[in-house]
Amino acid sequence: MELLLTAAGLRNETLQDALRDMLAKPFGSANVVYVPTASVAEPGDHGWLVADMNRMHSLGWREFDVLELNGLPRQMVLDRLLHADVIYVAGGSHYHLARSITGNDLADGFLEALASRVYVGMSAGSMIFSRNLTGRSADVIGDATDLHVLGATTVEPPFGLFDWYLKPHLHSPDFPERDDAWADRIAARADFPIYFIDDETAVRVGDGKVDVVSEGRWRLHT
């Protein structure tokens, strides 16, 4: 299993090169499936999603598929994940994304696909692997409102692979409140490790190891 967990997609050459190394073949010889599910739970302008999709498409894939996780037969979803070499899951509401995976009984099949494919997450797409993705962590992180707006008070982590949690968009101009003081306040409440990463950074997981790929800034609170 190889994961490249970004805050804002493949924004720079360092992150794109990291994906090339993980894929071990040219983008032009590979299929990618782009999953926008998390985005549909976010209101307002979605120009950021269009820009991200265009950025990914511009890398020159052999095939560029777009897959919504809700509303399709389970096996159709899994077959299209298995057809891809790279599974790219975009941002939005990580709670809606997690609930879409568990609610559609996709977790086991998703993990099976990830065993032999490269996964790239953007923001919400990077946040769904922690076993600390719960209603309690929503209170710790301070985003319980994002869960409650979905009509929910709890969330089940779809994969539960890691103890650590990922919080994106540190120092992002799109999230001006996410400064070092914001990270310090969350870290003071948390009893689990948290990676805070900016929009030029990714946490990379592969071969049982975790490291950080970055042209920007990041913090790990343990």
**Interval 79-100: pLDDT, tens:** 999 999 999 999 999 999 999 9
Altogether, the residues listed in the chain come to a count of 222
**What's the mean pLDDT when you consider all of the chain?**
96
- φ/ψ of 156, rounded to 5, equals -100, 125
Q: pTM for the whole thing?
A: 0.96
- pLDDT for 122 beyond 90: yes
pLDDT score at 43: 93
Query: Distance between CA 83 and CA 31 in Å, rounded?
Result: 7
pLDDT tens-digit map of 124-176: 999 999 999 999 899 999 999 998 989 988 899 999 999 999 999 999 999 99
Of 37, 166, 167, 157, whose CA–CA distance to 96 is shortest? 37
Q: What does the buried/exposed string (b/e) look like for 33-52 if buried means 16 or more CB atoms within 10 Å of the residue's CB?
A: bbbbbbbbbbeeeeebbeeb
Q: What crossing angle do the helices spanning 107-114 and 74-83 adopt, rounded to 10°?
A: 10
Q: How many other β-carbons are positioned within 10 Å of the β-carbon of residue 109?
A: 18
Distance (Å, rounded) from C-alpha 137 to C-alpha 143? 9
Instruction: Determine the CATH number of domain 2-221.
Output: 3.40.50.880
User: What pairs with residue 210 in β-bridges?
Assistant: 205
Mean pLDDT of 29-35: 98
The sheet carrying 218-221 orders its strands as: 165-167, 194-197, 218-221
Of 153 and 55, the structure prediction assigns the larger pLDDT to 55
Q: What is the token pair recorded at 66?
A: 């777009």
Please give the structure tokens belonging to residue 131. Answer: 């076993």
Contact 72, 107 (CB under 8 A): no
d(C-alpha 147, C-alpha 151), whole Å: 7
Terminal-to-terminal C-alpha distance of the chain: 24
pLDDT in tens, 12-27: 999 999 999 999 999 9
Q: How confident is the model at residue 207, as a pLDDT?
A: 86
CA distance 24 to 2: 12
- For CA atoms 139, 143, 162, 42, the dihedral sign is positive
- pLDDT for the residue numbered 100: 97
pLDDT in the model for residue 153: 84
The side-by-side arrangement of strands in the sheet containing 209-214 is: 63-66, 31-35, 86-89, 118-122, 2-6, 201-206, 209-214
